Structure formats: structure tokens, C-alpha cells
Structure 1
């Protein structure tokens, strides 16, 4: 599988992983559609890319999931097709369950789950009609096991795995691929932008995130997984071992996560 001449749509493309993906993909002679809420940030990312003449900007908010059919039609109109949709947009959370207002849980589900699902469902008929297409969804290791202070985030990411596993099965006959990308700690703004219990932003970095993979390194490893059409890829440092501990030694994982005191 090659990215050459493919049309690739990236959400959450204004910073972090999405920005790094756009820059790396722009070196592969593909066409890109970059989306996030911030038009000015998207224009800056486009400026950093190698093939800006074949990059389109499409700002929108994942929280407005009712708008996705219109948004997807606009995306298709740029190059007449979409080959790969990279669902990367979303937000995180840092607060104890007992301190978290239900409105925060709702917002995480609306953006991280419903927004992503609505966009994917809107583009799905296009993939079926073409008898090809690749959904790449960035979830998290928190979509495979959980950690304190991230209850709403874990819930939304776990839900994405349930949905896309079903989609992969239902549309295997249509030659549609699904790759779930599960990052560990990546040195982005995700912690600073995370919501706390009252719905405000945390506005500070945490040590584990700051010591995570650099976005460019992560993006290169992620693109290798996409090219191999992997079902799932766990990308990070030692924290990726948690996936296997959860499967075979769940009580041990429980003790190790508590001991780590990760925030």
C-alpha cells in the first residue's frame, strides 16, 4: 500500500499528531484535506507542508455532529474522492470521577465518540460506492485499558473500538479497511487542553506527556502501521505493555497503574 496519489483527510490537523501527520504525508505525493476548528492554525500547517498546492482546508467542529453529511460532501468535492479518513480530532480529560460534572462526560462523548462516528458514517456510503476506503481512527491506549483521572476519556475511547470493530466486520465485503491507532504518551498539547471536573481546561502540561514520543516520531510510526493495514497499533514507550497486561494479568496492571500515580 502506498500513499502516492491518495486523497487523505485528517481531522485534528492543526497541532500535535495531526500536524505531524500532515507534514510527513505531504512528502509522499498525496492530496490532503486538513480539518480542525481553527482555520488560521490549519493555514499555518498547510504552509509548513511540502505539497501545499494539493492541500485543502476544511474547518469544522466535531461537536456539531449533525453537520457531518454536509461536511463530508464538501470534502469529497475538493478532489472528487476520499481514500483515507484519519479520525484524529478530539479532547482529553483530567479529573476524578467524583469531581467530574456529567456535562464533561457528555462533551467527551459528543466530540471524541459521536463526532468521529457521525463523520465516519457520513463518508461510509462514498467508500462503499468506491468499493475501497480506509478508516484510521486515533484512539489511545486508554481505549484498551483505563487509568485514574481519565474516566470520560477512557469511556469514549473504549466506545470507538466497539464501533469500528463492528464496522470492519460489516464492510469487509466492501473492501473497506479499519486501523485503530492507540498512542501512549505523546508530547503534544493534549494535557494542557484536557478538561477538568468543571469543564474548564487544565492549562498545564504533565510530566508523562512531556516525556512521551515526539509527534514527528509518532507520525512516522503511525504511517508505517497504516501502510501495513494493521487492525490495531500500539505506539508509545513502555506504557504499551499495559495492553498485554490487561489481557493476561489484569490485577497486576491494576496494581502497577495505581503505583505509577500517573496524572
Structure 2
């Protein structure tokens, strides 16, 4: 089992939700956490609440702005000198039918959930290769394994980053760099409230599935335990989500029938 203590962990989307919970759990386990998101003040509010707050740093960046990403990366190396885990967590969800979703919204979701994570990973990859160590982590989604109504663009982006991660894992396997993908199911965060509707605006309200999902802290504990165990394919969620993933592997046609009957928006 790999120790988290004293590891330098860079978490994107760390100002709220899954990222905030992951940052807190990494700090509890003795890691040095780099928190990134767009708003510095919100990152600082999270950082000062972490265990041993002075060990951690906040670096604001818009993950879709390549110049900001490059500058943030330079700051990380200047302040910490290395990166042991990169947690590609920043993301954006969707709640709209395909027929109602504009192409601008389609591209926005793909930019945040796929291209920005690819760019950040390609930016930091030389450091991992030079170190001949480290783990690159992508937070995908169970939706990226199943594909459901109201989430077509989101499901596609999350599936794309999963496949990209698989290729990356194969390419760096003999160079000491590990790659893991986490697939959360329903977790109690603001993901549904912030999800884009067809016009690209925040939905603005929650749904029952998310409101009754796994607590973010429980998600973080399970995720970090799995990472410490070296797991590469990590599904975290309730019984229904795990059943869906299992059915998708053994009987896709059965899965398609199940999804048709789903009423969750």
C-alpha cells in the first residue's frame, strides 16, 4: 500500500465539491496539497480549513486558459519542486436533452471535461517522466461508462478522458508513472445545480439522486484508499451505479433497456 504522507498532490477544482473533499482527505493523511480553481479567495477558504494549513498552497487558474495553466505549473514547481499525484478533478456537468443542447454548450463541456485535462496532463507529464514516479488521476464519471439521458455531452467527454487515460497508462507504464481513473456515481455536491442546460446556463437546482447520494467525504476516503492500493479503475457510488457498470460489461443490450427506463434528470 502506497503511503500518502508527505506526497505533493495537485488537485484541480479544489474550491468545492469532490475537489474540496479530496483536498481535505489528502491533508488528513499527511500530504502537501496544491489547490487550484478559478477563484483564489475560495481556494484560500478551503486551504485554511485543512489540517496543517501552512503546508498547503492555493494557486488560482482557469483550467481552460492554457497560459494560466502553464503559469500555475511553474509556480507549483517553484514552490514544491515536484508533483507526486495530479488529480484532474475540475469538471462541468450537463442536464439537457440532445435536441435542446446548442453546439456552443457541447463544445464548452468538452473543453472543460476533456481538452483542458489533456492539456494540464501533457504540461506536467515531463515532470513525472523525469522523476520516474508519480500517479496521474482522472475523475471521470459512471455516466462516462453508461451514457444516460440529459447527459450526452458530459457522458461523451467523461468517456473520452477515460480512453485517453488508458492510452497514457500504456505509454508510460515502463517509466514509473501510474495512471488511475475514478468513476463517481451520485455524490452530494453542487454538480447538478451547476450543470449546464441546453443554452449553456447553470441549471440552478438539485435533483433527488444527487441530494441522496454518497457524502463527498465518504467518496474522498474511498478514492484515496483505492489510489493508495494502486487501483487503476475505481468505481465509487451506490448499488444502482455499481450494478449498471457491471451490467455494461456483461450485457450491453440489457443495460440499454435499463437506461431507457431511467427517469433521473
TM range (shorter): over 0.9
Runs (4+) off by over 3 Å: none
Greater shift, 60-69 or 99-108, is seen at 60-69
1:34 and 2:35 matched: yes
Which residue is equivalent to 2:191?
Answer: 190
Q: Is the 8 A contact 2:192 2:210 kept in 1?
A: yes
> Aligned to 2:188, what secondary structure does the other structure show?
coil
Gaps of 5+ in 1: none
1:161 matched to which residue of 2?
162
Does the CA contact (< 8 Å) of 1:66 and 1:118 recur in 2?
Answer: no
Between the aligned partners of 2:218 and 2:252, the Cα distance in structure 1 is 30
Distance 1:66 1:107, change over 3 A: farther
Kept in 2, the 8 Å contact 1:183–1:234? The answer is yes
Distance 1:252 1:81 in 2: 46
Per the alignment, residue 64 of structure 1 pairs with 65
Secondary structure of the structure 1 residue equivalent to 2:158: helix
CA RMSD of aligned residues (A): 1.0
TM-score normalized by the length of structure 1: 0.97
Q: What does residue 208 of structure 1 align with?
A: 209
Conserved? CA contact 2:4–2:29, under 8 Å = yes
* Alignment deviations for residues 38-84 of structure 1 (CA, whole Å, 9 cap, x no partner): 21111111121011111110111112135433321221211111110
| Number of equivalent positions | 263
Cα separation, 1, equivalents of 2:264 and 2:72: 38
Report the secondary structure of 2:218's partner residue.
helix
Shift of 1:107: 0.5
Cross-structure match for 2:23: 22
Structure 2: stretches of 5+ with no match in the other structure: none
Q: Which residue of 1 aligns with 2:56?
A: 55
How far residue 149 of structure 1 moved from its aligned partner, in angstroms, is 0.3
* TM-score normalised per structure 2: 0.97
Secondary structure at the aligned position of 1:8 is classed as strand
Cα shift at 1:165: 0.5
**CA apart distance, 1:11:** 0.4
Match for residue 261 of structure 1 among 244, 260, 263: 263
More displaced 10-residue stretch of structure 1: 176-185 or 28-37: 28-37
